[in-house]
Amino acid sequence: MEDSKDDIYSENLINIFDSIKKQTKKCYTINTMKNLFPVLVWLPKYNVKLLLPDFVAGLTVGLTAIPQAIAYATVAGLLPQYGLYSAFMGCFIYIIFGTCKDITVGPTAITALMVQAHVTGSPDYAVLCCFLSGCIILCLGLLNLGVLVRFISIPVTTGFTMAAAITIASGQINNLFGIRSTSNQFVASWCNFFTHLREIRMNDALLGVITLIILLMMRKVKDLKCSRYKMFTKYISLSRNALAVLAGILLCYLLSNGDWLPFRVSGEINPGLPPFKWPPFSTTINGTTVPFKMMVSNLGASLISIPLISILESVAIAKAFSKGKLVNATQEMIALGMSNILGGFVSSMPITGSFTRTAINNSSGVKTPLGGAVTGALVLMALAFLTNTFYYIPKATLAAIIIGAMIFMVEYDRIAEIWKSKKIDFFPFMVTVVVCLFWSLEYGIVGGILANVTFILYKSAKPIIIISKEEINYIKIGIVDVMETLCYSSAEYLKSQIMQFIATQTEGNEIKLIILKIQDNTSIDSSVALNILSLEQDLSMLKCRLVCWNWNVCAAGVIYRLHSKGNQLLKYGKSYTKLIDDLKLSSSIIPFDTEEFKLEEI
Amino acid sequence: MEDSKDDIYSENLINIFDSIKKQTKKCYTINTMKNLFPVLVWLPKYNVKLLLPDFVAGLTVGLTAIPQAIAYATVAGLLPQYGLYSAFMGCFIYIIFGTCKDITVGPTAITALMVQAHVTGSPDYAVLCCFLSGCIILCLGLLNLGVLVRFISIPVTTGFTMAAAITIASGQINNLFGIRSTSNQFVASWCNFFTHLREIRMNDALLGVITLIILLMMRKVKDLKCSRYKMFTKYISLSRNALAVLAGILLCYLLSNGDWLPFRVSGEINPGLPPFKWPPFSTTINGTTVPFKMMVSNLGASLISIPLISILESVAIAKAFSKGKLVNATQEMIALGMSNILGGFVSSMPITGSFTRTAINNSSGVKTPLGGAVTGALVLMALAFLTNTFYYIPKATLAAIIIGAMIFMVEYDRIAEIWKSKKIDFFPFMVTVVVCLFWSLEYGIVGGILANVTFILYKSAKPIIIISKEEINYIKIGIVDVMETLCYSSAEYLKSQIMQFIATQTEGNEIKLIILKIQDNTSIDSSVALNILSLEQDLSMLKCRLVCWNWNVCAAGVIYRLHSKGNQLLKYGKSYTKLIDDLKLSSSIIPFDTEEFKLEEI
């Protein structure tokens, strides 16, 4: 009997050991290179049959990437070319380091919005932010600290996405109607819109609203059931943003009259490819040189929030498209970090995995990450040859593209799921949404995380403790089963629960012995141990003994090492009867002076 | 025999019952008044026999309270009379609201140190801080938010106490040697000391060091084994601070020569009792009026930390002297809050339970809280008649008293216990100590709490999950036992553990079914539920089923409500064999195209 128990224990231990090994085994094997450069695994196996699907997919993604990049540059408050500068490096780098064939790394609406607050003055801030974010993401990846994003729960990410989408869409509402606006914030944008209603430019408003309606319709086109044109409608739907930009440019060019343009446009942009140079470690604003230290302190908390959000977005997309395989989050973070670091050399703003474009990549049937090369090449070509054309892109068209994308970024189903499954999870969701909208995105996500962490802390302070009563040989004993981990926050709770239990016993049913059982595999900390020793003293004044019953080595060790007395608390065995005999407990009552007790009681 | 036993115990039980009712029963019964005013319980039973012990104890405490109050006023950077102003109101109020006969409420070294940073300019800050702290403590008490102090673990409180003791003692090192000093901070004080060594005044240094040595010796006097003078030595030991002050005053007075004094003294103080007036809701510094809002914003984080530390100290003392009874923390907080609120009307600085004086009260054999009245009266008498005498108190004497007290405030045993029982608990301890000493006490305690909370969060992100393998009817199944609570931070961990387990199976041993078991009594949140649904989808791609086995209603409900599919995941029963039959699982291997899979693998 004793043996079999030992066997079960060792069995358990082996299991635990195994899972520990899996996690901690970091020794360098021959596969290290292949892990670090996944391209070494798939490129040698590449064959010509894969070329066509990769090419088609890359092209389709490129047609979305270009208008999106330009649009997100305006969200970030940058000139359009910066969007394109950001859109190619990630594609190339991800080929080398990426593990998921579908992911497209580039500028996204959320990172654009997050960097926007710091761009006022100089685009150098965005570029430095890109470079530094890359360094931070790489470090977090190498240190395996990506697990930090686990503390951003689904309600918080959902709330954050929704708030970001609303903020971004609100920021474009002025552009959609041709109203001048300086802010991209939620409240400020709508204030500006309603106070400047008279300044609506009819041309821009018409173009914007019609483009938006057509975009929304084109999105639905692929769901049409005419199977004959299925391939055609699918590509129309996928390249709708490119078509909208094209239409906008054409319309603007054709209706222009000398210097007069029918719409407000993005304006002059530098032609050509971005120079490959060091990221701007200092910048000049209005003739004043801003040193590196000042730039970093201006970027401030963004240097934490942008990397975290980037990791979150990228890893989430990798998981969504992993099709049941394990996602190597560390490698994804290395790929993302390298993309941002090298992006910093080509004047990129912070980039991350884009859900839209990844989905397009996937549905276009990409076979390997090589599709990214086609996308990247297309962006480079646009930069080299089309910058003059981009001058004519109407702001209203970009606004329509952005708003059209944001409408579908809100995860309506997810919100419903959270509401249905657990109402209380709506609390961190609402905190995130409200703080994001009315304060800032950074504080919103921090607020949401804090609101959610209180759940964990509350739970840790109130573990489930089941106290039952037994009577053995006329001795009443209380059996305390702690069903969860004990830690310092629950130490006093345990003590007070036991004291209350003792106190609520009726006359003649005094508990003589408390048997404290904790779970296998859990340990305790010194606060718990000290509270248990103090509980033992308190109980002894009520003529009640305390025993820690069959504790595992880990937890028992803490009690044992603490105090010479600790030793006496720890008892092992199978039957309580034997324990009661050992402790020489009897049901006889030890009388004590009532009068004195009363005085002490006051 | 049986009867007498019942009597004794029922007495005991009624008392304990009362205190339980106080904590949990919130409806207003006849006992509410008695709960709120514990004085109504014990005062009617008061008899003349208790008067002598209460009087002796009150007197002894008073003899310690007066020199301590004056000393702590200097720690707070206030004139000596403010210490005395703070030392009487708490004693009177605690008689009415207090539940523990031993506790003495008054100025303490830690609250004095914490308020010191804000006193520069005007004592009004300390008085306002006292009043507002009282309001906050009262609110926290009434809202039952005292549980918040549970998140301050023993290592953090130990570290905080040690750092505070070191800071306070360091702040007095200059006074001990007669050096002028403006700062009470740890680093600044020692810097000042070593840079001004030449300015040591021999008189002060001699007085200070000799007083300190004598005080330390007198503390040990009561441990002498000559039982004949036991009572005498005990009282000598208990009143050693008063004797030191008396000796200092006498020496200073006798050696003085006209206006020349042999020692640096505390200086002129206002005679008489403090006026009973509203707390200062605005103050004047250098002719400028500082409004209430500005005063509050100057006090800043202290308005959180001082109440929390006060509660922590007071409740900890109540527990230490409760002798196994349940401490009614809410009532203790009400008593403390009222003491501080009313203290604000008599120019008191923040006050809380004093461990030293409570211990003296207890060892002097106090029988009811009425002893506090004697202490309070003694302080009032000192204020009324002795303020002229206090002019002669040498600073060096006060410094010696403070340093003498601080040496014993450090819980050396506790530190050893923490180190012995669990090394990792030294981390929050060290964080607290270092931040307290080199930054500030407030940030130190926040840093310690944060360092400690990471333990809880880390644990919550990595619950113990045991995965074992079984084979039933040639079907390989994996049984996943989650031994702890699942929450959003562990949702992905669970998923990745299961996916790793699946991935490490060798060929021909493919797991066909994962049985997920969670603990009774625990629930899950929506993030976990969503991750389980996504796990189910991932597993189905690997031709593996997922079943939530025998989940309790609470947890199952979350899955069930989430999705129409959720229903299919939940299975109940006793044997896995029947489950396998129900699921129509077979051990045949479904072949799939290796080539295609390889491509997907990239």
Predicted confidence (pLDDT) at residue A7 exceeds the cutoff of 70: no
Domain assignment of residue A592, yes or no: no
Element (H, E) at A117: helix A109-119
The Cα–Cα gap between B65 and B61 comes to: 6
Task: Tell the burial category of A208 from Cβ atoms under 10 Å away from its Cβ (0-12, 13-18, 19+).
Answer: buried
Number of residues assigned to chain A: 602
Q: At what angle do helices A230-238 and A240-255 cross, to 10 degrees?
A: 60
CB < 8 Å from B in window 555-574 of A: 558-559, 561-563
The Cα–Cα gap between B327 and B316 comes to: 10
Q: What is the mean pLDDT of residues B79-88?
A: 89
Domain boundary among B455, B479, B512: B455
pLDDT per residue as tens digits for the range A336-355: 999 999 999 999 999 999 88
User: pLDDT class for A20, splitting at 50, 70, 90?
Assistant: very low
Predicted confidence (pLDDT) at residue A158 exceeds the cutoff of 60: yes
Q: Do A324 and B456 touch (CB under 8 A)?
A: no
Ramachandran class of A257: left when φ > 0, alpha when ψ lies in -120 to 50, beta otherwise: beta
**Which site among B488, B495, B518 would you substitute to test the A interface, given the most A Cβ atoms closer than 10 Å to its Cβ?**
B488
Domain boundary among A435, A455, A475: A455
Alpha carbon of A84: minimum distance to chain B alpha carbons (Å): 28
**Which site among B370, B419, B422, B524 would you substitute to test the A interface, given the most A Cβ atoms closer than 10 Å to its Cβ?**
B422
Smallest Cβ–Cβ distance between A417 and the set B45, B368, B562 belongs to B562
The nearest alpha carbon in chain A to B554 belongs to A422
User: Do A579 and A495 lie in a common domain?
Assistant: yes
Q: Give the predicted TM-score (pTM) of the model.
A: 0.78
Do residues B61 and B357 lie in contact, with contact meaning Cβ atoms separated by under 8 Å?
A: yes
Paired with A545 in beta bridges are: A513
Q: Do B500 and A455 touch (CB under 8 A)?
A: no
Residue A274 has what pLDDT? 87
A484 contacts in B (CB within 8 Å)?
Answer: 484-485, 519, 522
Who contacts A595 (Cβ-Cβ below 8 Å, separation ≥6)? none
Residue B226 has what pLDDT? 65
CB atoms within 10 A of CB A3: 7
User: Do A395 and A491 lie in a common domain?
Assistant: no
CB atoms within 10 A of CB A225: 5
Residue B592 has what pLDDT? 41
Predicted confidence (pLDDT) at residue A335 exceeds the cutoff of 90: yes
Ramachandran class of B584: left when φ > 0, alpha when ψ lies in -120 to 50, beta otherwise: left
pLDDT per residue as tens digits for the range A485-499: 888 888 888 988 898
Q: Read off the tokens for A235.
A: 């590509």
Q: Do B527 and A22 touch (CB under 8 A)?
A: no
The Cα–Cα gap between A54 and A366 comes to: 5
User: Do A297 and A410 lie in a common domain?
Assistant: yes
pLDDT per residue as tens digits for the range A500-517: 888 887 777 788 889 999
C-alpha B578: how far from chain center: 55
Alpha carbon of B16: minimum distance to chain A alpha carbons (Å): 6
pLDDT per residue as tens digits for the range A399-430: 898 888 888 888 888 898 888 888 888 999 99
User: Do A509 and A421 lie in a common domain?
Assistant: no
Q: Does B52 touch chain A (CB under 8 A)?
A: no
User: pLDDT class for A227, splitting at 50, 70, 90?
Assistant: low
A251-256: long-range contacts (C-beta < 8 A, 24 or more apart)? Answer: A251/A207, A251/A394, A252/A392, A252/A393, A252/A394, A253/A392, A256/A392
Percent of chain B with pLDDT over 90: 16
Based on its alpha-carbon atoms, the radius of gyration of chain A, rounded to whole angstroms, reads 32
A425 contacts in B (CB within 8 Å)?
Answer: 525-527
Paired with A479 in beta bridges are: A468, A515
User: Do A80 and A113 lie in a common domain?
Assistant: yes
Do residues A311 and A140 lie in contact, with contact meaning Cβ atoms separated by under 8 Å?
A: yes
User: Do B377 and B503 lie in a common domain?
Assistant: no
Alpha carbon of B112: minimum distance to chain A alpha carbons (Å): 27
CB < 8 Å from A in window 131-150 of B: 147, 150
User: pLDDT class for B249, splitting at 50, 70, 90?
Assistant: confident
Residue A434 has what pLDDT? 95
Q: Read off the tokens for B546.
A: 């997922």
Predicted confidence (pLDDT) at residue B309 exceeds the cutoff of 80: yes
Paired with B290 in beta bridges are: B283
User: pLDDT class for B18, splitting at 50, 70, 90?
Assistant: low
Residue B77 has what pLDDT? 86
Tokens 């190339």 sit at which residue? A92
Number of H helices and E strands in chain A, helices first, is 28, 9
Task: Return the minimum-mean-pLDDT range out of A45-54, A382-391, B88-97, B399-408.
Answer: A382-391
Domain assignment of residue B422, yes or no: yes
User: Do A43 and A70 lie in a common domain?
Assistant: yes
Q: Which amino acid is at A508?
A: G
Domain assignment of residue B331, yes or no: yes
pLDDT per residue as tens digits for the range A561-571: 887 776 788 88
Task: Return the minimum-mean-pLDDT range out of A11-15, A320-324, B94-98.
Answer: A11-15
Q: What is the mean pLDDT of residues B534-549?
A: 85
- Into how many domains does chain A fold? 2
Q: Do A503 and B1 touch (CB under 8 A)?
A: no
The Cα–Cα gap between B338 and B347 comes to: 14
- Average pLDDT of every residue of chain B: 82
Task: Tell the burial category of B91 from Cβ atoms under 10 Å away from its Cβ (0-12, 13-18, 19+).
Answer: buried
User: Do B530 and B396 lie in a common domain?
Assistant: no
Smallest Cβ–Cβ distance between B422 and the set A15, A461, A525 belongs to A525
CA dist list (Å): B221 to B61, B213, B500:
18, 12, 67
Sign of CA dihedral A337, A343, A347, A353: negative
Domain assignment of residue A10, yes or no: no
User: Do A349 and A258 lie in a common domain?
Assistant: yes
Residue B321 has what pLDDT? 76
Predicted confidence (pLDDT) at residue A28 exceeds the cutoff of 60: no
Q: Do B147 and A558 touch (CB under 8 A)?
A: no
Domain of residue A568, residue span: 463-583
Paired with A289 in beta bridges are: A284
Domain assignment of residue A19, yes or no: no
Predicted confidence (pLDDT) at residue A558 exceeds the cutoff of 50: yes
Alpha carbon of B497: minimum distance to chain A alpha carbons (Å): 8
Q: Do A561 and B421 touch (CB under 8 A)?
A: yes
Predicted confidence (pLDDT) at residue B598 exceeds the cutoff of 50: no
Q: What is the mean pLDDT of residues A206-216?
A: 91
Residue B324 has what pLDDT? 59
Alpha carbon of B146: minimum distance to chain A alpha carbons (Å): 12
Domain assignment of residue B402, yes or no: yes
A421 contacts in B (CB within 8 Å)?
Answer: 526, 529-530, 558-559, 561-562
pLDDT per residue as tens digits for the range B106-160: 999 889 988 988 887 788 899 999 999 999 999 998 888 877 878 888 898 889 8
pLDDT per residue as tens digits for the range B87-105: 999 999 999 998 888 889 9
Q: Which range in A8-17, A59-68, B588-597 is most confidently predicted, on average pLDDT? A: A59-68
Do residues A155 and A428 lie in contact, with contact meaning Cβ atoms separated by under 8 Å?
A: yes
The Cα–Cα gap between A109 and B71 comes to: 61
Residue A129 has what pLDDT? 93
Residue A552 has what pLDDT? 85
The Cα–Cα gap between A50 and B253 comes to: 102
Smallest Cβ–Cβ distance between A562 and the set B421, B493, B497 belongs to B421
The Cα–Cα gap between A407 and A114 comes to: 19
CATH number at residue A478: 3.30.750.24
Domain assignment of residue B592, yes or no: no
> DSSP state, A273?
P
Domain boundary among A455, A480, A508: A455
User: Do A431 and A380 lie in a common domain?
Assistant: yes
Sheet strands (E) in B485-566: 513-517, 545-549
H-type alpha helices, B439-478: 441-461
Domain assignment of residue A600, yes or no: no
Residue B563 has what pLDDT? 72
Q: Does B423 touch chain A (CB under 8 A)?
A: no
Predicted-assembly ipTM surpassing the 0.85 threshold? no
Alpha carbon of B449: minimum distance to chain A alpha carbons (Å): 11
Residue B154 has what pLDDT? 87
Element (H, E) at B326: none
User: Do A433 and A471 lie in a common domain?
Assistant: no
Predicted confidence (pLDDT) at residue B6 exceeds the cutoff of 50: no
User: Do B109 and B131 lie in a common domain?
Assistant: yes
Number of residues assigned to chain B: 602
What 3-state class would DSSP assign to B38?
coil
CB < 8 Å from B in window 302-361 of A: 319, 322-326
